[in-house]
Structure 1
Amino acid sequence: MTAKQRYFIELAYDGTKYHGWQIQQNAVSVQELLNKALATILRQPIETIGCGRTDTGVHAREFFAHFDLEVNNPLAMDDSQQAEESKSTDHGLSTIDYGLKVRGLNSLLPPDIAIKNIIQVHEDAHARFDATRRSYQYHIHFHKDPFLHGYSWMVRDVPNIMLMNQAAAIIMEYTDFSCFSKSNTQVKTNNCKITRAEWIKTDQGIVFHISADRFLRNMVRAIVGTLMMVGKHEIESGAVRAIIESKNRSNAGTSVPACGLYLTEVKYPYL
């Protein structure tokens, strides 16, 4: 059995042109392009496992995936890199090699996907299951701006941010968020521990910041849609309690457009 070394790869991407992170049939995804680039650079088949799955059009300022590389496989190194083998550890990527691979990957990938780092980790490290906190931002602006188009949601009327923050504080009191989850998702639990949920004013508009140990599919966009109902005085802030306790997706607000959503941070105990 061939021994393998596990690595984390850190990347960022503009999700506008992609059908999310995860490989899809008949659609281009970030994972598909990354796997192909890694296989080209490392000269062996590579399959990545991501820290989560972002939906079509969602952006990521920080995203992690892991992959395994055969130990001491000479195909993973070119001649100049093999000459540096004396400086390497007992795995397929030499110490000096990380920067070379990052530059090589970035030269193969399109401009809207950027590799930041490759990190050696222990063999059981898992990009998805080991993450202890994930953070998202949702951006909203109120005036037409060609430089925000596709990267922020434009709405006409400014909502009441104070009321939305009151409702956001209520959300943090709960753990079962079935009402904000896309239906028919194959997860064992809809429980999440939210540690931050607040709206902040910016020069360009408003940004919703949310952090939790995990998120359900479509959860952030459904939360933002519900909080916008509060901000537009369509429901009272206290009505959020009834929505959450109903555990019924149809009672929550409409999911807001993907363009304003960014995965901004993923935390691990060993990074």
Structure 2
Amino acid sequence: MRIKAVISYDGSRFFGFQSQKHTNKTIQGYIKRALNRVGIDSKIVASGRTDTGVHATNQVIHFDIPKHWSDLEKLKNYLNRYLFPSIKIKNLYIVNDNFHARYWAKKRAYRYLIKINEPNPFEANYITFLNHLNLNKIEEAISLFEGEHDFKYFMKTGSETKSSKRKIYKSKLYQYKDLIIFYFEANGFLRSQIRMMVDFLIKIGKNELTKYQLLEQLQCKERYSTTLAPPYGLYLCKVIY
């Protein structure tokens, strides 16, 4: 049976989602070992890979299980016992055998969390702390990302992709209590694209760059910035099918 799982994880404890040769400390690796402990040997496919330090509140993966595992609640409890405290399986669903967590996804959404405050060591792995930002300037600039664009100037070099064009449906800034939140929803994202976009917006908020320079980089006329915002404030928060 093919299973769709909605999971959350603390990315600061791992070297990204994808399994790697030089380390076994990846989210995919931990989930695979947990599955092996209950007699399940299956390929694990995610809606998208998250980088080292990046979190997820609603990542979606799929894997296959033997039919005798009909009690999904029991399976979820067993797996969560092995995955605690860094990974949690929130829900398990039986889906069509053709379901594909990555290829069937229509939209993906991320949040990036910032606090204008003195750094707090207990939140340092989950929020980016800054001294000052002009939020009005960021709010004016962030909407420029909406629509379909060629994001080749907003992706990490060495990325393997057939096309660098992506469509962003929502790109907004809002505040919740003492948090400043960047929200992006798109049909897909390139490698490190969001962190590069957020870093550019932070520089606009610090008066180091302008929205006009952002527009020129978005139009692939000139590169003004290719540095990345820290990974710890970034969360994969929604996958839409």
**TM-score w.r.t. structure 1 length?**
0.84
Q: C-alpha root-mean-square deviation of aligned residues, in Å? A: 1.5
After the TM superposition, which of the residue ranges 126-135 and 227-236 deviates more from structure 2? Answer: 227-236
Q: Which residue in the other structure is 1:266 paired with?
A: 239
* 1:59 counterpart = 2:55: yes
Structure 1 unaligned regions, length at least 5: 71-90
Q: Return the offset for 1:247.
A: 6.6
Q: Return the offset for 1:199.
A: 1.0
Aligned residues: 239
**Structure 1 Cα separation of the partners of residues 148 and 107 of structure 2:** 17
Q: Which residue in the other structure is 1:146 paired with?
A: 121
- Counterpart of 1:50 (choices 46, 71, 74) is 46
Is the contact between residue 147 and residue 167 of structure 2 (CA under 8 Å) also seen in structure 1? Answer: no
Q: Return the offset for 1:127.
A: 0.2
Q: Return the offset for 1:123.
A: 1.4
**Structure 1 Cα separation of the partners of residues 212 and 54 of structure 2:** 29
Q: Which residue in the other structure is 1:115 paired with?
A: 89
Is the contact between residue 178 and residue 247 of structure 1 (CA under 8 Å) also seen in structure 2? Answer: no
Q: Which residue in the other structure is 1:36 paired with?
A: 33
Q: Quick check: which one's strand share is greater? A: 2
* 1:69 counterpart = 2:65: yes
Is the contact between residue 8 and residue 56 of structure 2 (CA under 8 Å) also seen in structure 1? Answer: yes
Q: Report the residue type matching 1:146 in the other structure.
A: P
Q: Return the offset for 1:251.
A: 2.8
**Structure 2 Cα separation of the partners of residues 117 and 33 of structure 1:** 17
Q: Return the offset for 1:141.
A: 0.9
Task: Name the % identity.
Answer: 31
Q: Return the offset for 1:239.
A: 1.7
Q: Which residue in the other structure is 1:189 paired with?
A: 163
Structure 2 unaligned regions, length at least 5: none
Is the contact between residue 13 and residue 61 of structure 1 (CA under 8 Å) also seen in structure 2? Answer: yes
- Counterpart of 2:189 (choices 199, 215, 237) is 215
Q: Report the residue type matching 1:29 in the other structure.
A: T
Q: Which residue in the other structure is 1:240 paired with?
A: 214
Runs of 4 or more above 6 Å deviation: none
**Structure 2 Cα separation of the partners of residues 154 and 117 of structure 1:** 32
- Counterpart of 2:202 (choices 221, 228, 233) is 228
Select the structure of larger CA radius of gyration.
Answer: 1
Counterparts in 2 of 1:26 and 1:253: CA distance versus 1, 3 Å: closer
**Structure 2 Cα separation of the partners of residues 210 and 262 of structure 1:** 11
1:8-27 to structure 2, matched below 5 A, reads: 8-27=4-23
